[in-house]
Amino acid sequence: MAEQTNRRAFAKYLVAGIATVATSRVAWAIESGKVHRNLSGFVTRDWKPYFSNLRNNVILVDTQSRSLHFWSEDGSDYRLYPTSVPISPELTRLGRTKVIKKVKDPSWRPTPAMLERNPDWPPFMPPGPDNPMGTHALYLSWQYYRIHGTHDTRKIGRRSSNGCIGLYNEHISELFDLAEVGTQVLLI
């Protein structure tokens, strides 16, 4: 019994040590510019092929790699977040839009098309842990489209939404503070 406990303790410390070394090496590589991909394989991008300027900040959503890129107006701040994306090409809207409203603790109303596909869904859901919009939402100029959080973290990195772009709640909270009404958005 004691031997089994010692093996488990050793394995636990070994894994923790490897994780610490790996994390510090990845952090060093990213900071030093030696790596152009993060742990999850998302490719870092330059904003210039996608935007003519960084006015009001810019957000690029790559639906293929399921990632969201943010650049600040002065270009000094670049962020990369994993996302969920629409479940099918029919629900995926691509092109240029912008942030028109920011809402903390958003309520949720499924679109008429969502209710048609899912008649058992409620017509309204107030803010809270069961709300699929998570803790924050950036409303886009396209009707019904949002960049928002999710309480269901299994959705991130997958084709799982009905049209919106989903982020972990801690990531949308960060992006919410960085983005502003008027932030340019491009979905590719």
Residue 177 lies in a domain: yes
On whether residue 86 sits in a domain, the answer given is yes
- My answer on whether 8 and 95 are in the same domain is no
Phi then psi dihedrals of residue 88, to 5 deg: -145, 160
184 vs 19, more confident: 184
Q: Which residues are catalytic?
A: 148, 164
Give percent of the chain above pLDDT 90.
74
Q: What is the pTM of this model?
A: 0.77
Query: Cα 177 from chain centroid?
Result: 14
pLDDT in tens, 20-62: 333 333 343 344 444 344 445 578 999 999 999 999 999 999 9
Q: Are residues 95 and 143 in the same domain?
A: yes
Query: Is residue 50 one of the residues assigned to a domain?
Result: no
Per DSSP bridges, beta strands 159-161 and 85-86 are parallel
Instruction: Say if residue 113 is in the same domain as residue 150.
Output: yes
Q: Are residues 83 and 141 in the same domain?
A: yes
Average pLDDT over residues 100-115: 96
Same domain membership, residue 104 and residue 14? no
Confidence at residue 29, expressed as pLDDT on a 0 to 100 scale: 37
Report how far residue 171's alpha carbon sits from residue 149's, in angstroms, rounded to the nearest whole number. Answer: 8
C-alpha radius of gyration, the chain, whole number: 19
**Structural domain includes residue 40:** no
Quick check: helix, strand or coil at residue 169?
Answer: helix
Taking the CA atoms of residue 38, residue 104, residue 161 and residue 186 in that order, the dihedral angle to the nearest 10 degrees is: -60
Q: Let me know: does 131 contact 124? Beta carbons within 8 Å.
A: no
96 beta partners: 186
**Arithmetic mean of pLDDT, 130-137:** 94
The number of beta carbons lying within 10 Å of the beta carbon of residue 171 is: 22
Total structural domains within the chain: 2
Tell whether 82 and 151 lie within a shared domain: yes
pLDDT attached to residue 130: 87
Query: How many other C-beta atoms lie within 10 A of the C-beta of residue 37?
Result: 12
- Between 42 and 19, whose confidence is greater? 42
- In the chain, the percentage of residues whose pLDDT exceeds 70 is 78
Higher pLDDT, 39 or 131: 131
**Segments forming the whole domain that contains residue 25:** 1-35
pLDDT of residue 7: 52
Q: Are 105 and 127 in contact (CB under 8 A)?
A: yes
Q: How far is the C-alpha of 136 from the C-alpha of 117, rounded, in Å?
A: 25
Instruction: Kindly state whether residue 123 falls inside one of the protein's structural domains.
Output: yes
Q: Is residue 176 within 8 Å of 184, Cβ to Cβ?
A: no
Is residue 51 in a domain?
A: no
